[in-house]
Chain A
Amino acid sequence: MKTPSRFLNWLRGLPTHLILIGLCLIWILPSLGLFITSFRPVQDINETGWWTILAKPKGYEEFQAYCASCHGSDGKAISNADLTNPELVQNYRRSFALLTSLNREIDGQIHMGDTPIPDDKTTATIASYMRRISGIEARPKFTLSNYIDAITGYRGNSTYVTDCAAGNQSVDLYCNIRDLTNPRGMGRAFINSLLVAIPSTILPILFAAFAAYAFSWMDFKGRQWMFALLVGLQVVPLQMTLIPISRLYAQLGMNGTFWGIWLFHTGFGLPYAIYLIRNFMGSLPHEIFESAYLDGASHWTAFTKLAIPLSVPALASLGIFQFLWIWNDLLVALVFLGGKYPVLTYQIGNMVTSLGSGWHLLTAAAFISMALPMIIFFALQRYFVRGMLAGSVKG
């Protein structure tokens, strides 16, 4: 009696589960692909998709079809023609050299015997495969070179590591620790983003906490009106103010300074921050504050000793939101900092050249810019989840 009903339940739940799993896949798959791609060598990225990482390398099929019957599937069967020997393969690096060899007679016999001679394209693939197995062009399945290149801002045909090893790096690179802060790299952009985001998160939350306390627990005239006005300020679109503020900053000489962008983010973060924190603080039991006043607390003491510690969930969740919004912001950073202090969002776009090359760096750059938000999210996610209810539900 019990088993069939359980099976029926499972069957009834199946469509929901399938849809949920499908939705999760749709969301996760692109990120996963990007993540895997970011660890692949640039040549592999250009040749095959990320989903082939577990398959045999390119050229394996062709090699098996044309060469394996004599040379063996690992290429080592004929000892004086060991295809894994780099010195030998060095002679057939290019596909035309290989093709010539295939057309030639070896030891008085046709090289390929009964097997037809492969066409140009196939030969090129086989040559590439041979370079790989012989170690001339051995490349690992996974590499950090995309990350290193993105962080150092390397732009070239090879990788930062090989260029530095060969000593032919471009003029803006030093091949030492200084390259981590190369203005063209993501490393420097990461620092710039931190310099923008941390004060732009702390300042509005600090001011908003003061304001929220006043709106919640201090009795002054026009309190409700001022609060309504402040909340109403949220409707002002940020884009509308870009030009006037940019002009103002130009007159004050604040364009391209961190002060300018801190001030801008503070201003636009405040209304929402005040709204959220006030709602949270206002829902704290008023007896606690009254008790503190009777205990001899001034407003300042009540603020620092009671309001702030008790509002930590709201402050933390607001902090996360504000930080993420600034971290991911391109528009404001582009307008007020531009290329002077490139931030992550700005620099990601610079990874690709105007001809579209270098996009493998994008994958790594994207994950560099995602790293910090992800760490923050997972570290503070219990506040995050609780904070989304902040102000709406008490406790």
Chain B
Amino acid sequence: MASVTFDHVVKKFGDVLAVNDLSFTIDDKEFLVLVGPSGCGKTTALRCLAGLEEITSGTIKIGDQVVNDIPPKDRDIAMVFQSYALYPHMTVFENMAFGLKLRKMPKEEIQKRVDAAAKTLEIQNLLNRKPRELSGGQRQRVAVGRAIVREPKVFLFDEPLSNLDAKLRVQTRKEITKLHNSLKTTFIYVTHDQVEAMTMGTRIAVINHGVLQQVDTPQTLYDSPANQFVAGFIGSPSMNFFQAKISKSDGKLFVVTDSFKLEIPKEKNKVYGPYDGKKVIFGIRPEDIYNPEFPSTGIKAAPVECKVDLLELMGDEIYVYLMSGSHDLVARVDPRSKYTLGSKVQMAFDMSKFHIFDIEQNPENPIAIR
């Protein structure tokens, strides 16, 4: 049981910067998810914490102890690998007992712990099998079991669900969350799947190109993304972005793109007022675009004319791919909506739920204006 602190951690492979100045703290008993596109450095960050990679500079602390120079075996952490990394020549029992034996634990204690873990994971009947005789889901459980028998301070998961089929993934996701609730230990979980991140994490750290973008609770991350990358990464389908300009006329603020002009609600004038005449990115999530026939209550609808390009029927909703001028966007609308391809329609943007990103200050990754 311990907190984990990354303090200005840098990891270079030759000239390639894999982790760039990563600083954040993971509280004790927290379930933190590191999420980002593949190759963003999230796994490297995890491996640095595990001690499998040496960090180039900065410090990593587990609890109050700086672990930079402590070898992996003394860091008291357990890791579940994407490929499970079970020892192929050992039985499930031996796999789970391996770490305990190396720590010279008495036999009865090992037996007790393995049995308890096997019971939790419902793999008691597999203890005498070899890994090759197990299915993917069973191997995954054994890998988790091997981690929990050690009762480590911190659990690390490196995309443990990515080799499972979709159904099993949803099921295992729930089980890992339950496991966290019952073990009450710090969990650090790496994934590229934002659904896993949103459903499992108590907090999520979004990483891109080795740089930490934002750490926050899932809901905050979703509602107020810190920058355009986070806004686009979290949410499916992802947020629609438009090149836009803020302009003021008759004392009202408008967001102007080349195909539409929307009024900014009065209460936000104070926030966006200073950006009058500046170029910005206007972002709105697909579920905040409505079919005017079926609006939700309490939205500030603003009409935008679009052309229907493609329809994806999901059953409970419809993904409508639209063209507004030369710009495409997607909306998630009520399934009762009737659309024909190529027709011109009016869509309602909910102007209480939009995002504006400052592109002038930071053209690489525009920062949200709040």
Contact = CB atoms under 8 A, between A and B. Distances in A.
Contacts of B86: 288
Nearest to B52: A290
Contact of A293 (B72, B84, B87, B88): B72
A296 B152 CA distance: 12
A386 to B, nearest CB: 15
Contacts of A310: 88-89
Taking residues whose C-beta sits less than 8 angstroms from the other chain, chain A's interface range is 10 to 19
A interface, by DSSP: helix, strand, loop or mixed? helix
Interface residues of B, number: 25
B13 to A, nearest CB: 13
Interface string B56-100: 000000000000000111010111011111111100000000110
Contacts of A293: 51-52, 71-73
A287 interface: yes
A306 B99 CA distance: 13
Interface in A297-314: 297-298, 301, 305-306, 309-310
Nearest to A306: B87
Nearest to A290: B52
B102 A287 contact: no
Nearest to A291: B85
B73 A294 contact: yes
A285 interface: yes
A297 B52 CA distance: 13
B103 interface: yes
Contact of A288 (B73, B77, B87, B150): B87
A175 interface: no
Contacts of A309: 89
A386 B19 CA distance: 41
A292 B83 contact: no
Contacts of A296: 73, 99, 102-103
B34 interface: no
Contacts, number: 61
A288 B85 contact: yes
Contacts of B103: 296
Contacts of B234: none
A301 B88 contact: no
B320 interface: no
Nearest to B47: A290
B77 A294 contact: yes
Contacts of A290: 50, 52, 72, 79, 81, 85
B72 A285 contact: no
B187 to A, nearest CB: 15
A309 B87 CA distance: 10
Interface in A246-295: 285, 287-288, 290-295
A42 B86 CA distance: 62
B98 A292 contact: yes
A271 to B, nearest CB: 28
B98 A295 contact: yes
A292 B81 contact: no
Interface of B: 50-52, 71-73, 75, 77-79, 81-89, 98-99, 102-103, 146, 150
23 contacts: A285-B85, A287-B81, A288-B86, A290-B52, A290-B72, A290-B81, A290-B85, A291-B81, A291-B85, A292-B87, A293-B71, A294-B79, A294-B99, A295-B78, A295-B99, A295-B146, A297-B98, A298-B73, A305-B87, A305-B98, A309-B89, A310-B88, A310-B89
Interface of A: 285, 287-288, 290-298, 301, 305-306, 309-310
Given A292-B87, A294-B75, 10 more contacts: A285-B83, A285-B85, A287-B85, A290-B85, A291-B146, A293-B52, A294-B50, A295-B78, A296-B102, A297-B73
